[in-house]
Structure 1
């Protein structure tokens, strides 16, 4: 049963809420008007600022990190005997990645060295033959002069009857034979000169051909060691031990982590004020909105994404539904910021571009200098090959007489 409260213990409502004098007095009408005016002004100024910011800014979340995916391929065929890097490994330019069986290329290289030595010695023989034939030409000319003088003397004596006509006839035959021998030797000299005239040992056609074959064999031998063309992270490794590969087959890829950019896909309705060179701010879900990357627009693609799709849309057939198209915009990032906060190819990005400055171009008229990319790993291949060619020629040239022009 509930207990009843005595009447003398019941407090009036005013006492339960405190004294009437302690309640807040309502603001005067004038003060309330001023507060409302201030609030309206703050909202109005904020709205104008927000509108100005939105009008001069284009945003999209349809943006992704992109980069150079450098394929590592073999320039010769062969069997894989080892690979020295796998996915997620970081490699330097020139690092050995894959090794092919070098036996076939070693045999080819030694054969090419022997062929160059042989060509050098054959060329030496040709130069010596030219000198020999020139000496023989001098000898045959002397023979002609001698027989011609002998014939003239005998002809003089024949008029006085001291020499018979038969001896004169024999002298004439000897002169004809000497002139024929001189002509034959001159022809042989011309043939030999055709092989060596205007050349020396190192510019002889046969020596040049053999030297080129040796360079080719040397380069093929060196290419049994497949090097990384750039600094970066290994990905997409597909090569396996013992695999027989053909030239041009992709073995793995290397992604340079310091050469990344953003492809932002803006709607066609957002392109009006976008210009090359405008600054951009980029954030990613990896580090949150507090980490901001700074970049700039360096180019706009030549068409929409659907225009270059594998199966472009056929809008001329069937029922047509308008779909807003997007154009890829390339945004270069600050390499120092990427080094501090690394990114990965394919990450989603949020892009905000300030379009206040609209003096830039919409279409590039030159090549963006920030994206010139090359490797120097293969620059020294021929230097060592030339040294080997010179060593082989020097070992076989001897004292080579040079052909006169």
Structure 2
């Protein structure tokens, strides 16, 4: 057997060592790839499981803000401000006095209205008393008519007698038994009787006309008081309404808080003359605050009223958790109610996912323990699994 060079053995051993190293490296690489694949599978499975079991049951947004039905305090009458009794940030209760207006003019108006009411009541009472007087006048005119009838009857009798006397004397003139002077005297008596009869007839007509006038005046007077008393007479009611309005205007010189809350945006100053409808300040009912959460439209498929929600504020952080309930959805998106709405009908159009405000009512006890203010940012998590 030929002798083998020791260097050859060394080369062979080196090749074998290199082959073993490559095999080990490949095995290690495969194991690393297998571990990476397992890691990715685990992460993907975890993400899928989280999305399926957790995320799909929650609608979450940080685009949410505290809101409240703010009450504007305005003056309902015009007048100068005599006192302002509150400051910004002050807590007030419903009925508390906020502002006083100078009430001099209002008090004078009340006094004038009271005088007008008293005058109207006396006028109506006078009308009622006049009705009795007019009835007496009608009775008097009836008596005048009866007297005129009697006078007319007497005048008619005198006229008939004078006519008979004239007829008798005229029949005796031819025989000379009656003188011409006597006939003339009788004829004059007839003329006088005829004039008296006409005067009596005129008096009778005048008495009838006076009675009819008295009846018409009484009817007109009764129309003012028919089926009413002094208290519910239209003139008295109108005067009383004016008095009530004057008293209301006097009460309105004292401006009170319409609700419980915190005074904000106070703009009124002493000496300022305010006009009806001008805003003096606002009262924010922080104890009745709510949250408007602006969810994307693609997140609202499973959100409906009655679902519970957990909320945290940037003010207190995650250590304070509020519990609320979804009460409803806005009637439109923010873009729909914008002052300058988006023109989606234009040629250059890019679809933008819209957000719809969702109203969430907060727990009153939690809100009292940790008060919020209008406009604060909130984080909302709605449980849509129920």
User: Which residue of structure 2 aligns with residue 355 of structure 1?
Assistant: 384
Question: Residue 340 of structure 2: which of 299, 303, 311 is its match?
Answer: 311
**In the alignment, is residue 212 of structure 1 matched against residue 241 of structure 2?**
yes
Aligned length: 319
Tell me the C-alpha RMSD between the 2 structures. Answer: 2.5
In 2, Cα distance between the equivalents of 1:149 and 1:110? 58
User: Which residue of structure 2 aligns with residue 241 of structure 1?
Assistant: 270
Q: Determine helix, strand or coil for the equivalent of 2:267.
A: coil
In 2, Cα distance between the equivalents of 1:284 and 1:175? 101
Deviations 1:232-261 (A, max 9, x none): 111110111111111101101111122111
Larger radius of gyration: 2
In 2, Cα distance between the equivalents of 1:331 and 1:160? 113
User: Which residue of structure 2 aligns with residue 292 of structure 1?
Assistant: 321
The offset of 1:220, in angstroms, is: 1.0
Q: Determine helix, strand or coil for the equivalent of 2:286.
A: coil
In 1, Cα distance between the equivalents of 2:65 and 2:271? 37
Deviations 1:242-282 (A, max 9, x none): 11111101101111122111100000111211112222111
Q: Determine helix, strand or coil for the equivalent of 1:173.
A: helix
In 2, Cα distance between the equivalents of 1:298 and 1:282? 15
User: Which residue of structure 1 aligns with residue 100 of structure 2?
Assistant: 99
Q: For 1:7-156, what aligned pairs fall within 5 Å after superposition?
A: 48=49, 51-152=52-153, 155=156
**In the alignment, is residue 186 of structure 1 matched against residue 194 of structure 2?**
no
Which 5+ residue runs of structure 2 have no aligned equivalent? 1-37, 165-189
Deviations 1:212-240 (A, max 9, x none): 11111111111111111111111110111
The offset of 1:154, in angstroms, is: 5.4
Cα–Cα, structure 1 residues 270 and 179, in superposed 2: closer, same or farther, change >3 Å? same
User: Which residue of structure 1 aligns with residue 296 of structure 2?
Assistant: 267
In 2, Cα distance between the equivalents of 1:112 and 1:131? 29
In 2, Cα distance between the equivalents of 1:138 and 1:336? 82
Q: Determine helix, strand or coil for the equivalent of 1:321.
A: coil
Q: Determine helix, strand or coil for the equivalent of 1:182.
A: helix
**In the alignment, is residue 281 of structure 1 matched against residue 282 of structure 2?**
no
Q: Determine helix, strand or coil for the equivalent of 2:270.
A: coil
In 2, Cα distance between the equivalents of 1:141 and 1:287? 97
In 2, Cα distance between the equivalents of 1:117 and 1:276? 60
In 1, Cα distance between the equivalents of 2:211 and 2:308? 87
In 2, Cα distance between the equivalents of 1:63 and 1:334? 17
Deviations 1:41-71 (A, max 9, x none): 9996896365222112111110011001111
TM-score of the pair, normalised by structure 1: 0.73
The offset of 1:87, in angstroms, is: 0.7
Larger deviation, residues 228-237 vs 184-193: 184-193
Which 5+ residue runs of structure 1 have no aligned equivalent? 1-36, 358-405
